[in-house]
Structure 1
Amino acid sequence: MLTQESHDTAAEGTMPLLAAADLQDHLLVASNDLDRLQRLLSDACDALLVHFYGATSELKQLLHSAAPHPELDSHQLHVAMEHMAGAITAMQFQDMASQLVHHTAKRLRNCADRIARDTMGDDEDGETLVEEAPLRPNPVTQDEMDAGSIELF
């Protein structure tokens, strides 16, 4: 049931206070979830890099010792190295995903701040601060991964 106050604010084109607070909470929860996703992606990429460099080092040692050891198939080692090089492309995923997560979290935070400011107004400490929204609509224009020449660091 709408109260007269909530009906008046809805009629003026603004959101009722309770609905605005609820929406702000949902936006902040989504933003926090994106922060957790960012940490998970970073941890997974760090582990991937450690294992990638370890495997690359082992393959290089095997490749260099393949000549004096005919039981080691140098063609298979070269194929393994090509697979390792292809894994670098997959590592770019973390960078792109990280940019998108950060961008989306900033947009959500901006929406939550604007809802708070527009619905609840300034508080006794002064003007409500609103984190700026990203200027660009999308930080990453690439939407697929292709193999190619990639340089890390």
Structure 2
Amino acid sequence: MQIDETAVEQDSGLMPLLAAAELQDHLMTVNNDLERLQRLLDDTGETLSSHFFGASSLIDQLLSRASSDQDKDALQQVMLHLAGAVTALQFHDMSTQLINHTSQRLRNCSDQLARDAFGDDEDGAAVVETAPLRPNPVTQDEMDAGSIELF
């Protein structure tokens, strides 16, 4: 009598090795996508910061040389618009925290799955990256304009 391994694994409550390997691959693919997103956000954040500080510096120079009250008022309005743009830079910080948190959770799930499904190898015990202690690093879920403190 031949025993079907899949049936035995299902009866014992264990996940078949092939399904565990596929799930681990999917978790790692999602983690890699998050890392690419992190790099894109970092590049965008650096570009936004650079342009913001460049524009702010030029406006400060123009403001000091402005001859009419109308010009000064217009430049101050531009500065207010730039200050509002910093909210986008704060989005970068929140996004980065969420991506890092999610990536750590995915890595932990993948490591646990590998350890439980495949066990230890010839190099020793499987290492499982620690999961984040907090359920969510960022509690804010929207961005509002308000007082902004520059970096």
Whole-angstrom distance in 2 between the partners of 1:35 and 1:71: 49
- Quote how far apart the aligned CAs of 1:73 are: 2.1
**RMSD over aligned Cα, in angstroms?**
1.5
Aligned residue number for residue 129 of structure 1: 127
Extract unaligned runs of 5+ from structure 2.
none
Identity %: 60
Aligned residue number for residue 8 of structure 1: 8
Q: What SS does the aligned partner of 1:73 have?
A: helix
The 4+ residue runs of structure 1 with deviation greater than 3 A are none
Whole-angstrom distance in 1 between the partners of 2:56 and 2:141: 28
- Equivalent residues, number: 149
Whole-angstrom distance in 1 between the partners of 2:36 and 2:150: 25
Give a deviation string over 1:64-98, Cα, whole Å, max 9, x none. 1112xx49722211110100111112210000000
Aligned residue number for residue 26 of structure 1: 26
- Quote how far apart the aligned CAs of 1:38 are: 0.5
Moved more, 107-116 or 73-82: 73-82
Residue type matched to 1:115 in 2? L
Extract unaligned runs of 5+ from structure 1.
none
- Quote how far apart the aligned CAs of 1:136 are: 0.7
Q: TM-score with structure 2 length normalisation? A: 0.93
Give a deviation string over 1:82-124, Cα, whole Å, max 9, x none. 0011111221000000000000011111111111011111111
Residue type matched to 1:49 in 2? S
Aligned residue number for residue 55 of structure 2: 55
